[in-house]
Amino acid sequence: MSIAARSLFWVVSFGTLGYGLFTFVKPDDELLQKIDNSSKHTDSRKAAKDTISVLKAAINQESDIKRLSRRDAQRLEKLQKAHKAREEVEATSETEDYFSGAFKIRSENVEQLLTQVPSLEMDILAQHFDIVKREINELQKFVVTSSFFLKEFNMRKYLGIVQNLQTKCYELEDTFVPRKKFGFTRKKLPKSHSQKQHSIDESDSSGKIDSNKWDEKLFGFDSKEDKVLSLENVDLFQRDVALRNLKNCTVSLKGVMGTLHITNLDNCIVLSGPVTSSVFVEKCTNCKIVTACQQLRMHSSLKCDIYLHVTSKGIVEDCLDIRTAPYNLTYDDLDKHFNMSMLDRNSNNWDCLDDFNWLAPDIPSPNWSILDVSQRVTNWDEWWSKTPL
C-alpha cells in the first residue's frame, strides 16, 4: 500500500472515531470552560493583554493631560479677567479721586465768588454775576462730561451741589441787583397796551442797546420767516440760546440749554427741552411756547400760550392774555436731558405766576389765566416739521 493511501486510511479512521465519540458522548461544559480559561493565560495572550493595558493607560494619560491643560487654560483666563477688572476698578477709582478733587476746587471757587457779592460795588455786580454764572455752567459741564465713569449716585450728588450753587446765585442776584423795571417809584395811571409798547420802544431806542439787535456772541436764530428751525443737544448743551425776530416759524430745541432768550416772535411755536436756569420771553405775540426751566421771566408779550414746567414762581410784567398749561412735550432722550439739567420733575409751578403789574394780593391777575383743557394741544408730534397755521 502506498504512503498516500495509508495516510488517507488513518485520517478517515480517526475522523470517524472522533465524530462518533462527539456525537454519542456529550462533552462536559465545565471542563470545556476550564480548558478555555486555562488557554487565556498562555504567554501570548498575556502579552497581548499587557499591550492593550499599556495602550489604554496611555490613552487615559493623554486624556488626563488634555483635561489638566484645559483646566489650567481656564484658570489662567479667569486670572487675566480678574486682573483686568481690578485694573479697571483701580483706574476708575483714580479718575473719580481726581474728579472729586477738581470738583471741590471749582465749587469752592464759586462759593468764594458768591461770598464776595455783599462787599462789591453796585456798578460791578452785574459783571461779577456773569462770571459766577459762567463758572457754574462750566462746573455743570464738567460733571456731565464725566458721567461715563461716575456712578449714578455720585453724579446726582455733584449735580445737586451745582444746582444749589445756581439757586444761591440767583437769590443773591435778585437781592443785590434788583431789576429797575420791576420797581414802582410812584403810583401811575394805568396805560393801555399800545401806550406801554410805545413807551418801551422809546426807552429801548434812547437808552441801552436794543434787545432785538443780534449780537455775534449769541447763538440761535434771528430774522427768519415761515421756516422750520431745529437744533439738537450736541449744539445746544449748556449754551445761551437766543431766538429773535422770527415770524410764523416753528423752532425745535431738543437738548439742554443754559438759558433761553425769546425776543420779538410773532405767531411762532417754540418746542424746547429743559433749560437749567432761566427762560426770558419779551415782545412776543400770538405764540405757543413749550419749555421747562428753573425760572421764567416774561415781559411785554400778548396772547401767548405757555406750556410750562418751572421749579420756581414765574414772573410776568406788562403782559396781556397770557395762558398757561403744564409742560407736555415728548421726544427721544427727554428723560435723559431732564436728568442732565437737574430740574426737579416733581416741582412744577406752571399755574402760579407773579404779575408785577397787579398789586392786589387777594384778587387774581386779569393778565394771565390757566388754559382750558379743551383748548390745549395734547400732542406736539405733528408740529416738529411744519410751520404754524
CATH number at 140 reads: 1.20.58.1250
At 151 the pLDDT is 75
**295 plus 376 within the same structural domain:** yes
Q: For residue 266, tell me if it sits in a domain.
A: yes
Q: What is the largest CA-CA distance in the chain?
A: 168
Q: What integer pLDDT is reported at residue 380 of this predicted model?
A: 92
The reply to whether 253 falls in a domain is yes
148 and 243 in a single domain? The answer is: no
Query: Is 113 a member of any domain?
Result: yes
Kind of pairing between the strands at 259-266 and 320-326: unpaired
B/e letters for 294-322, b = 16+ CB within 10 Å, e = fewer, are bbbbbbbbbebbbbbbbbbebbbbbbbbb
| 2: three-class secondary structure by DSSP | coil
Secondary structure element (H or E) that encloses residue 230, with its range: strand 228-232
- 103 in any annotated domain: yes
The C-alpha atoms of residue 113 and residue 132 are separated, in whole angstroms, by 7
**Residue 211 is assigned to a structural domain of this protein:** no
- Rounded Cα distance between 233 and 257, Å, is 8
Give yes or no: residues 374 and 269 share one domain.
yes
Distances, alpha carbon 256 to alpha carbons 103, 140, 168, 324, in Å: 21, 11, 21, 22
> Same domain, yes or no, for 298 and 369?
yes
Asked which of 133, 157, 176 is the last residue of a domain, the reply is: 176
Same domain, 171 and 241: no
**Is residue 158 a part of any domain in this protein?**
yes
- The mean pLDDT values, 10 residues at a time, for the chain of 389 residues are 65 64 54 53 61 62 63 72 56 67 89 89 86 84 74 76 82 74 40 45 42 59 93 88 95 93 96 93 95 93 95 89 94 89 89 82 83 93 86
pLDDT of residue 15: 65
- CA 305 to CA 286: how far, in whole Å? 8
Instruction: Give domain status of residue 34, yes or no.
Output: no
Same domain, 256 and 345: yes
In this structure, are 242 and 329 located in the same domain?
yes
Question: Is residue 166 situated within a structural domain?
Answer: yes
Query: Do both 172 and 253 map to the same domain?
Result: no
Q: What is the pTM of this model?
A: 0.51
Where among 154, 176, 198 does a domain terminate?
176
Residues 6+ apart with CB under 8 A from 253: 230, 231, 236, 241, 260, 270, 271, 272, 273
Give the Cβ contact number of residue 289 at 10 Å.
25
Q: How many domains does the chain have?
A: 2
Q: Which domain holds residue 278?
A: 233-383
Q: Among 136, 161, 176, give the residue marking a domain's end.
A: 176
> What CATH number has the domain bearing residue 357?
2.160.20.70
Length of the chain: 389
62-65 — which CB contacts under 8 Å span 24+ positions?
none
Q: Are residues 169 and 239 in the same domain?
A: no
